[in-house]
Amino acid sequence: MPGPTSHHRNDNKEVVLRCVYMLLALYERERTVAELREVLAERELKTVSERTIQRDLETLDGHFGLHQTGKQGRANLWAVDPVDFEQLLELEDPVALALVVAEQQLDALGPMHTFDAVKPLFERARQQLAHRDTPASRWLDRVRVTSAGHRLLGPNLASDLNDRLQDAALKQVAVILDYHRHQGDPAQTLEATTLGMFYRGSVAYLIIRQRADGRIRQLPFSRISRIQESVTFAADVGDFELDAYTKSGALAFRFGEPFRLQAIIFNSVRREIEDAPLGTDQTLSDIPGQPFNRLLEVTVPYTLNLIQWLLARAPYLKVVGPDDFRERFKQELAQALKNMEVEELEVPTQRSF
């Protein structure tokens, strides 16, 4: 049987809960004691008299921004000052900074209704940092992050279609969708299971398993004009795992297995990769008689990103191995040079990579 101490603890708990809920209610808008009593009843707290509530308010008066604002008829109106009250909800500045940076990253990816519920939290973090002079607040004014490559602008998508595509990706469901290989092409209607989604830069892709042949494909959101859930066939997620799919290199344009790249590079390329290497086992060796060049050796993924990186620096490097990659890279350079010399663009019948 509970003793006096237990009853005392329960009473204290009721008082604390009552005061917290009253402060939250007054943060929304000013209220009378009678209105606060209704709020407490809605929260299913222990019933107390208006006199008890008035006594609680008088005890808290002047704390957390609580004050009387006037009268509504004969009843006193109570309110809290938002600025004073929000000090109770204050974030640590590094946490506020993390929220602001996270919001910026999400904005770059396009509309995401999934995060609508936390937008007030993002706004509170921004407002807090705007009124501070701390290392975290100064970060927003004095630090910028840019892409290492040319970043494409995100496609302009209808928000309702974007939402439906995101929902389908998150739910892993059977769908029927219309896909266009290029803008303006007739639609291909596909039956598939949604497996997930990913972003390549600011471009969103839906990962699907085609019902017809079980093949996994990646379709840009911007080329899907319609999607609806299907009840005529079951979803086939199978053993798909996004982490394993990512580790396989499937999210990149991949041409083969990782390999050991060997190249002679000029100092301008050396400066770029000396402190930010292309891979974990990168080495840069002196070349006798070539003081401004280095021999680069590193294991790299065989992806479009790598090839584009090398092509962009082609005047300042020479690929020397492996032989097969060197020959393919040479063909790519030769085709690019040829296109600079002819009137009409010539596309090779067989790709170098």
Query: How does pLDDT run across 318-337, given as a tens digit for each residue?
Result: 999 999 999 999 999 999 99
Q: What is the CATH number of domain 4-81?
A: 1.10.10.10
Distance of alpha carbon 169 from alpha carbon 181, whole angstroms? 20
Q: Where are the domains of the chain?
A: 4-81, 90-142, 159-247, 254-341
On whether the CB atoms of residues 296 and 247 are closer than 8 A, the answer is no
Query: How does pLDDT run across 247-298, given as a tens digit for each residue?
Result: 888 888 888 889 999 999 999 999 999 999 999 999 999 999 999 999 999 9
Q: How many CB atoms lie within 10 A of CB 74?
A: 6
> Under CATH, which architecture does the 159-247 domain have?
Roll (2.30)
pLDDT in single tens digits along all 353 residues of the chain: 555 555 555 567 888 889 989 998 998 899 999 999 999 999 888 889 999 999 999 998 988 888 988 887 777 899 988 877 766 667 888 988 998 888 887 777 766 666 777 888 888 888 888 888 899 889 888 888 777 777 777 788 888 899 999 999 999 999 999 999 999 999 999 999 999 999 988 889 999 999 999 999 999 999 999 999 999 999 999 999 999 999 888 888 888 889 999 999 999 999 999 999 999 999 999 999 999 999 999 999 999 999 999 999 999 999 999 999 999 999 999 999 999 999 999 888 888 88
Percent of the chain with pLDDT over 90: 54
Rounded to a whole number, what is the largest CA-CA distance in the chain? Answer: 97
Residues whose CB is less than 8 angstroms from the CB of residue 238 and which lie 6 or more positions away in sequence, other chains included: 209
The reply to whether 159-247 shares the fold of 4-81 is: no
Residues whose CB is less than 8 angstroms from the CB of residue 333 and which lie 6 or more positions away in sequence, other chains included: 311, 314
Q: What is the CATH number of domain 254-341?
A: 3.30.70
With the C-alpha atoms ordered 212, 214, 215, 221, is the resulting torsion angle positive or negative? positive
pTM of the predicted model as reported, rounded to 2 decimal places:
0.67
Q: How many residues comprise the chain? A: 353
First to last CA, the chain: 80
Residues whose CB is less than 8 angstroms from the CB of residue 26 and which lie 6 or more positions away in sequence, other chains included: 36, 66, 78, 79, 80
